[in-house]
Amino acid sequence: MTKKTQAAQAGRPGRRPALNAEHVTVLRAITQQMPRSSLDEVTRELFRRTGTQVNPVTVRKALRQAGIERLKPLRRAGERAAVQGAAPVRYGYTDAHRRTDDGKGMNTDLTDAEWALVRDLFEREGQRGAPARYARREILNACSYALRTGCAWRLLPKTFAPWPAVYKAFSRWAAAGLFETMHDRLRQQWRERIGKAPEPTAAIIDSQSTRSTAQGGNTGFDAGKKVKGRKRHLVVDTLGLLLAVTVTAASVQDRDGAAPVVAQACAKVPGLKKLYTDAAYGGQCALAIEKTHGISVEVVRHPGNRATGTWQDAQQPLWPEVVAKGFVVQAKRWVVERTHAWNERARRLMAHHDRSDWAPVAWIWLAEARILASRLAT
């Protein structure tokens, strides 16, 4: 019999456990709310809620003693994701999406109601110097036409102002951040219209790799997506509205491109408290974001992720989870994917036609602003 066993039988007190019954109750709640979180994420969430900092090994031991184990998903051939009791939805253009030009312009032109929302940003009262040679509204219409159709500057229709004047105005507005200001104003107005606070408290981050053209510029190769071009890093709110965007070479990893775009979003919206990410931003990247900006990072993983599995409480036995084959909607993750789809409606954003680094960012702000202007004017 060892000395440790003899001391235990004699009733002498040993070292106090790092986690008590209250901590186990908190761990049980964490695993129920975040069933697919990793052990490190559970440990950080425990520290955030109770202020108790322990080693992940201690947390794993406490979870096992409480009957909470990882449940690895089982795979069945031919199993597909089922749509729960939802009627088929018809998608496509309706009368609300169509515009009538009446022979006076293009279908991409701003309507009178849309122009009234942003007119003061482009036509400022009391400006010095000679009056503008071309109407600011017509120049903005030309930029919207180039965005939607993807045409080159030199191929703008003759009904617009000369292309050098349009390009010069576009570059000047982009340098002044006018498209971003336009979008931020419309975003706040739309959030207020649907009953939300003007500024969000939760956001979602994701990236998208798009191919480049022969125009050149800062490009790279994304080995995961097999795409040579650039990568857009977006931070959106829970409605899918843009908060921040950066454009890098496609070879830049998601975890490396997260810091600048998250810093941009936190500087614009100081009230951010929660950030949802995918597994590419987990681990040290999520920890660095939490330490730098003081926001909580939750990694939303696919149900079929066999690296982390799903936490299962022995007090609430469940059947082994079967991973559906095919597309599975993930909570909070589909929002930013929908924003990527919105951007690809503009043919200018389906590939990078600009050699500069600032033009792709300006196009994204303009595309998102045009979507919001159309919503608010309807």
Residue 126 pLDDT level (bands cut at 50, 70, 90): low
For residue 154, the model assigns a pLDDT of 94
- Calculate what percentage of the chain has a pLDDT beyond 70: 83
Q: Give burial (CB, 10 Å; 0-12/13-18/19+) of 303.
A: middle
146 has a pLDDT exceeding 70: yes
Q: Inform me whether the pLDDT recorded for 77 exceeds 90.
A: no
Residue 82, pLDDT score: 43
- Does 9 or 202 have the greater pLDDT score? 202
Summarised one tens digit per residue, pLDDT across range 193-224 is 999 999 999 999 999 999 988 877 888 998 88
Runs of H (alpha helix) within the chain: 3-9, 21-33, 39-50, 56-65, 112-122, 136-149, 163-175, 178-193, 254-268, 284-293, 333-343, 358-377
Distance CA 251, CA 238 (A): 28
For the segment 82-86, the average pLDDT, to the nearest whole number, is 46
Q: What's the mean pLDDT in 95-102?
A: 58
| Contacts with 358 (C-beta within 8 Å, 6 or more apart), sequence order | 174, 175
Looking at the predicted structure, is the pLDDT value of residue 225 above 90? Answer: no
Taking residues 35-48, what's their average pLDDT? 87
User: 285 pLDDT band (50/70/90 cuts)?
Assistant: very high
Q: Residue 248: pLDDT band by 50, 70, 90 thresholds?
A: very high
Q: What is the pLDDT of residue 81?
A: 42
- The mean pLDDT of the chain is 84
pLDDT > 90 fraction of the chain, expressed in percent and rounded: 50
Q: What 8-state DSSP symbol labels residue 71?
A: E
How far is the CA of 200 from the CAs of 185, 195, 241, 258, 354, in angstroms? 14, 12, 10, 19, 32
Greater pLDDT, 140 or 36: 140
Q: Which two tokens stand for residue 16?
A: 């106090």
What pLDDT sits at residue 217?
81
At 232 the pLDDT is 95
Cross-strand pairs, 231: 209, 248
Task: Check whether 79 has a pLDDT greater than 50.
Answer: no
